Amino acid sequence: LHITEYGSAFWNEKLLFRDFLRLHTDTAAEYFALKRSLAAQHAANRTAYTDAKGSYIRSVVNRARSTAVASSNNARVERHLPK
């Protein structure tokens, strides 16, 4: 659960992450496994658990951004192709 300003960078990143996981079940499964492992390692330290997920989450957000940019570029090209 996150409380954030609507439309903020943080808000957009969380939606990108969520949507990417919904579309890529393999990545969602990896994230689930990571969370289980980290929860066991950091059972008594919520901050360490959250911090340990950070690099994975950033990598997924970066992949989601790359995918979104590529999709956006492809859509622009397709709009201009003759039918």
CB 64 within 8 A of CB 16: yes
pTM, to two decimals: 0.77
pLDDT at site 80: 47
Please determine, for residue 81, whether its predicted confidence score (pLDDT) is greater than 80.
Answer: no
Tokens coding 15: 């939606």
pLDDT at site 78: 47
Confidence category of residue 74, pLDDT binned at 50, 70, 90: low
Percent above pLDDT 90 for the chain: 73
**Distance separating alpha carbons of residues 32 and 28, to the nearest angstrom:** 6
Tens digit of pLDDT for each residue in 2-58?
A: 788 999 999 999 999 999 999 999 999 999 999 999 999 999 999 999 999 999 999
The owner of tokens 């300003």 is 5
